[in-house]
Chains A and B, each alone.
Chain A
Amino acid sequence: MKNVLSIALLLLFATCISAQDNSKALFKLPEINVKNMNGEPFNTAEIDNEGKPIIMTFWATWCKPCMKEHDAINEVYQDWIEETGVKLYAVSIDNARSSKRVMPTVNGKGWEFDVLLDPNGDLKRAMNVNIPPHTFIINGNGEVVWQHIGYLEGDEMEYIEIVEKLIAGEDID
C-alpha cells in the first residue's frame, strides 16, 4: 500500500512541477500565521517593504552562529537601510521553552531589526528550513529569490550584495 501511495504522490508532484511557471523566483513567500514581538497575531502576508527587498533569517536563542550573524548585521544595519532601504525580519524558531526569552534577548542585545516568533515551526516548515541559520532574500514582489544555509563570518556582505543587485535589476546569479 505504501508503494501505491508513494507512486501516486510522486505522480501528483510531477504533474505540478511540469505546470509551474518559469519566473526566476524560487517561490512566493508563504502566508503563515506567526506572532510579532508583542505576542500579537501576525500573518506573513503583511510583510511589506514598499517594493524594496527584504532579508529574512531563521534563528533561535540557542543557536551560536545565528547570534553571531545578528550581531554582525546589527552593526551595519543602519547603513544598509540608508543605502538600500532593505528591511530585515529575524524569525525565531524558539519553542515554548525559550520563545518568551526572545524579546529580552533582542532588546538586551540592542538589535534594531524586526523579529517574528514561529514557536511551532509552521513558517519554518513552509519555507523548508532544516537548521538555523537559514537566510532568504525576498524581492519587491514578495518572491523568494535567493537563499543561503549557515553563517560564516562575513556572509552578511554577500546578503547586501544580492540586495544591491536586485535593486539595480541585475542578474543575481
Chain B
Amino acid sequence: MNVNVANLLPRVALAIGVWVVFALTDENYRRVDNFFPVFEGFALIGLVALGLSVTMLAGELDLSVGSVAAVAGIIAVKQSGLGLVPCVALAVLCTAAFGAAQGYAIARLGINSLVFTIGTLIAISGLAYVMSDEQSVLIDLNDLGLSDTITNRLWIFSPFSLTTIAAFVLVGAFLSVTRWGREIYAIGGGRNEARAAGVATVRPIVIAFTLSAGLAGLGGALASLKSGAAQPGGYDSVLLAGVTAALVGGVSLYGGRGDVLGVAVGVLTLQFLLSGLSSRGAEFYVGSLATGGLLLVVLLVELIVDRRQVLRYMRRPAFSAGEP
C-alpha cells in the first residue's frame, strides 16, 4: 500500500495525544474495556468516513450519506425476517444501486456533486420518512437475536466493528492495487491531466459514489439492527462526523491525496475525543461543538500547511489549454 509515513505520523500522534489527555484524568477511560465503546462508535462513523473519503479522493463530495444510511436502516429493520446477512445485503444493494445512479448522473451531467447531492439529501431524507410512516421502525420481536449477534462482544471488538475493519482493508486494497482504484486518485489529483492521459472519467465517479452510498448503507443497516430500531432522521449527524474524520485522517478536500489508514486514524481520533467527553458526563451538544471545532481546526491547519496547494487551486489559470 502506498502509505505516506511522514503524513501519517503527526496524525497518529494526535490520536494518541487525545487519548492520553483523557486517560491521564479519567481512570475508567484508560481501561482496556473502554476501547469497546470506542470501536462501536468507530464502526458506524468509520464506514461513513471511508465512503466519503473515496468521493473526496475523486475530487467530489457526497452530502447525501446521512439520508442514505437512514433508508438502509429502515430497509434492514423491516426485512429482518430474512435473516442477518440477507437483510443487510438487501439494504447495501439498494443503497449502492442508488449511489451508482447518482454517480452516473453527476458524471454525465458534469454537474457539481455538492449541488446534486444536496438535492438528493433532501429527497432521500423525505423517502426515509415516507418508508417509516414518520416514526421509529422497531425490529420484529422474533428477530431480536439479530441485535445480539451484532453486539456479540469479542474482546474489544464486535461483529459490527470487525465488519468495518474488513471494509477498510478491502477498500484500501481496491484503491491502491487495482487499476479502477488508481483511476479514482488520478481524476482527483488532476482531472484534465487524467483525461488527457486517457483515464476514463465516468467510471471512477460512478465507483466512488457507489462506494460512499453502499458503505453508508452498510453502516446504517448494521447500526439500526444493533439498536433494534431505525429512525428516519437518525443519521443526520454522520455527514459532519464523517467529513471531520476524513479530514483529520489527511484526506485532502482538493482531491487525489489521502489513504484509508489515515481515515481509520482520523475516525479513532474523533471517537477518542467524543467518548472522552461523554465519559465525563458532557451533554450531546458538547459533542457537536467539539466535532465542529475539530473540523475547523483541521481545515485551518490544512490551509496553513498546504498553502501552496491551496494557492495553486485558487490561482488556477482559467484560460489554460488543458481546459475543455
Are A and B co-members of a single complex? Answer: no
A→B interface (CB under 8 Å): none
B→A interface (CB under 8 Å): none
